[in-house]
Amino acid sequence: MTSRTKLKIGDLELDEGLILAPMAGITDLSFRRIIKSFGADLVTSEMVSAEGLVRNRASTRFLINSHREEKPLSIQLFGSEPSVISEAACIVADEGADVIDLNMGCPVPKVLRQGAGAQLLREPKKIKEIVEAVRRVVSIPLTVKTRSGWSKSQINILEVARAVEDGGADAITIHPRTAKQGFSGKADWYVISQVKQTVTIPVIGNGDVTRPEQVSEMKQLTGCNGVMIGRGAMGNPWLFKQAKELARGERVSIPSVRERLEIMGRHLDLYKESLAGRQNLSGIRSRLMWYSKGLRGSARLRASLSGCRDWETMIKVCEDFFATLEE
């Protein structure tokens, strides 16, 4: 059993510091509500364009829709201009965000072309300017999520971490891969421990946490104050609950086939609710596939779903799949 220390970000206290990572196209309102119900201490929105918010684009404002069930909520912003990001920060603070997170690690080309995301790793001074600009206009907790550096030969995370702290951020999250790596290779958890030894603000670790025991492993190996979980939670919201059970020395609960089906159904209901009458077959198809990952016959299910042309048929195909597993 590991010691249970609470993560404090500004004036926000977060039990054991288990956080859902921001993931574009993934951490929408429905997914966040599901994850929160399984014990996440903080959930994070998809990456939101500061420029889009300031220009009041409907598609961007849709991303910050929230529900009381998911509180506390962190909204992640990306951009490159301090004045624009600070204006967007005021908007999300007024909309009820509990935390503002600044993306300084996204390696997606369209984000990099805007001088945002991981591109900022090349400009630690600008990172400080952005953090300072946001800190001046909002009082809610402010965090930064970043990577270890631009490339293997340009790892400057310690300089970046100091800039984040000096700018006034309340915590920093480290995904210990470089921008050039994307999501390939292995996350170097040692980098997290280096940052922990360099700054005094809380450090949150992220990367390659896909099993409940890895939460305590990351904390023990790096000394980090909290753990952020991303891709490992897709179709596996139980991961948060299981990690907390382990921390308490309890028996880890394993979801039955029936529970998987029930949670999948709940997720789909919330997804449809969040779409407000709009259709998104690709979105529902991907979410259905998440819950079958690793199960016997899941490849066959994915093939069947690809041929479905309406919601009802997709759901029926999945129900039949899980019924077969139960038998």
Please state the rounded mean pLDDT for residues 142-164.
Answer: 97
Any catalytic annotation for residue 224?
no
pTM of the model: 0.94
Q: Report residue 28's pLDDT band, with 50, 70 and 90 as the boundaries.
A: very high
Q: Does the pLDDT at position 41 exceed 80?
A: yes
Q: Report residue 323's pLDDT band, with 50, 70 and 90 as the boundaries.
A: confident
Q: Average the pLDDT over each of 106-115, 122-131, 224-233, 304-313 and give the range with the smallest value.
A: 304-313
CATH class for the region spanning 7-247: alpha beta
Mean pLDDT over each residue of the chain, to the nearest integer: 93
Please state the rounded mean pLDDT for residues 105-124.
Answer: 97
DSSP assignments along 126-159, one per residue:
HHHHHHHHHHHH--S-EEEEEEEESSTT---HHH
- How many CB atoms are located within 10 Å of the residue 184 CB? 8
Please state the rounded mean pLDDT for residues 266-273.
Answer: 88
Distance CA 9, CA 183 (A): 27
Beta bridge partners of 8: 13
Q: Does the pLDDT at position 310 exceed 90?
A: no
Of the residues 106, 224, 308, 318, only one is catalytic, namely: 106
Angle formed by the axes of helices 257-275 and 29-37, nearest 10°: 140
Q: Report the pLDDT value the prediction gives residue 278, as an integer from 0 to 100.
A: 67
User: What is the three-class DSSP state of 171?
Assistant: strand
Distance CA 39, CA 37 (A): 6
Q: Report the pLDDT value the prediction gives residue 306, as an integer from 0 to 100.
A: 84
Q: Report the pLDDT value the prediction gives residue 1, as an integer from 0 to 100.
A: 44
